[in-house]
Amino acid sequence: MTTTAVRNFPMLIGGEWVESADLLEIRDPQNDELVATAASGGAAHIDRAVEAARAAFREGSWSQAAPAERARLLRAVAAKVGDRLDELVELEIMANGATIRQATGFHIGYVAPHLEYFADLAERYAFERPAPRATFPTLAQSTVRKEPIGVVGAIAPWNFPLLLALWKIAPALAAGNSVVVKPDEKTPLSTLEFARIAEECGLPPGVLNVVPGPGPEAGARLASHPDVGKIAFTGSTEVGREIMRLAAGTVKKVTLELGGKSPSIVLDDADLEIAVDGVLYGCFLYSGQVCESGTRLLLPESLHDEFVERLVERAKTIVLGDTRDWETDLGPVISARQHSRILEYIASGVEQGATLAHGGGVPAGERFERGHWIEPTIFTGVRNDMRIAREEIFGPVLSVITYRADEEAVAIANDTSYGLASSLWSGDNDRALAIANEIEAGSVWINDAHQINCQVPFGGYKQSGLGRELGPDALDEYTETKNVHLDLSGRRDRRPYDVLLSHVD
């Protein structure tokens, strides 16, 4: 009996593709089959990558290049990503279980336009600007410069492996930094192939390095490394706290995009057809494995029964199946560990008194006996103090909570340690905008969900994160600010030195 050989993906350090004795097994979540292996890096590999990145930064062919030249290369990479879209989509879905529709539209489909946006930013960003001329205590002119930090460390999650890595890689490169990326060990393939594309387009060796490996070893070393000037992380709030602690040892800059428990607030004047589909989309896209998923549905008591009936009937039409089939709506969750965790949360919801209105287990059928499948699940009768309402499940579980007045809806929405996103559903824009002003979240989408726009900042309040990604100021997170002061007074007697030193003829 022969078995089909799986492709192995080495790591990229200093322009060289490096093998490792330790391998990561990449398994397809829909059937748990081994589909690839990747070199697994540890602290020593991170050290090599940081050294290569630092050397590339000091060499200057990228860090000192004109912003327009950096923009040109980023656009070339974007074009090649577009040319190789199908290949990157396959590398993505074989590792993280996204459907081909979703990966083509979002996971990989967003990569080229977002990269184009950062190329545009590189050209129009104010890397240098004059300050107002000073006349006191002396005549002087200051110039404010934005300079690259040096070596940036990026730690990306498994749910949107390439896109969320790109949100760190692209602004870092646009600003002139070198980068070391630590992708999640379950999903490194698309990021490794992206790095190969970047080097094929002419990115100098060492400017972009990719080291997959376990978080406690490779990720921890990257976050604590003294030669890394900035760490950007997307992942759970628990790990984010540890990243922040590790980074504090060398007082490096940090951005964190962490967990969420986002509310979808339906007002009593909402268009129910739009709101029902929007709530399902907001919660169940990618099996709820999105940090800003709308996993708490806040319904007015007057609408509850009708809305839930519509919600359940519409949820029954969601098709689970082969992730490579364009007719499939929903794929598996990422891993056996996550599968067990989600089922435990569902059990806790029942134990604490919530009512299962739909789903709640593994779908029936031979196809679903292998892999990590969970039905779209809807709970009613949920209180906001239940575990399923308070803790991030990261699975296809929607908790329905009722309220009586707008003020109560706002109070419930804000009664969480998270604050990443929120959706509002209403036929009255003024009313919705007024409520949006009261919501403690980094993004509030009115009559929509999952609207990630690279032209506006994204990030969270409270324990959902620190700093912002995307938007016109994204390069600020990847630069240091320097003031260069030029004295224009000339003569000694026009300077305030006599505050300390008496003048001697």
* Active site residues per annotation: 257
DSSP one-letter string for 55-104: HHHHH-TTTTS-HHHHHHHHHHHHHHHHHTHHHHHHHHHHHH---HHHII
Q: Write a three-state SS string for 189-205.
A: HHHHHHHHHHHHCCCCC
Q: How far apart are the first and last CA of the chain?
A: 99
Please state, in angstroms and rounded to a whole number, the distance separating the CA atoms of residues 270 and 70.
Answer: 47
Counting every residue written for the chain, the total comes to 505
Taking residue 128's Cβ as centre, other Cβ atoms within 10 Å add up to 12
Please state, in angstroms and rounded to a whole number, the distance separating the CA atoms of residues 358 and 481.
Answer: 53
Task: Give whole-number Cα distances, 103 to 56, 85, 180, 251, 325, in Å.
Answer: 33, 10, 25, 37, 12
Residue 131 DSSP label: P
Q: Check residue 144 and give left, alpha or beta (phi > 0: left; psi -120 to 50: alpha).
A: beta
Q: Across-strand partners of 210?
A: 12, 181
Secondary structure class of 234 (helix, strand, coil): strand
Please state, in angstroms and rounded to a whole number, the distance separating the CA atoms of residues 170 and 118.
Answer: 6
Q: Check residue 288 and give left, alpha or beta (phi > 0: left; psi -120 to 50: alpha).
A: left
Q: Which two tokens stand for residue 438?
A: 């009261």
* Cβ–Cβ < 8 Å for 159, 259: no
Nearest to 29 by CA among 88, 97, 103: 97
Task: Give whole-number Cα distances, 129 to 132, 133, 326, 481, in Å.
Answer: 10, 12, 50, 11
Please state, in angstroms and rounded to a whole number, the distance separating the CA atoms of residues 374 and 354.
Answer: 18
Beta strand 465-466 with 253-257: parallel, antiparallel or unpaired? antiparallel
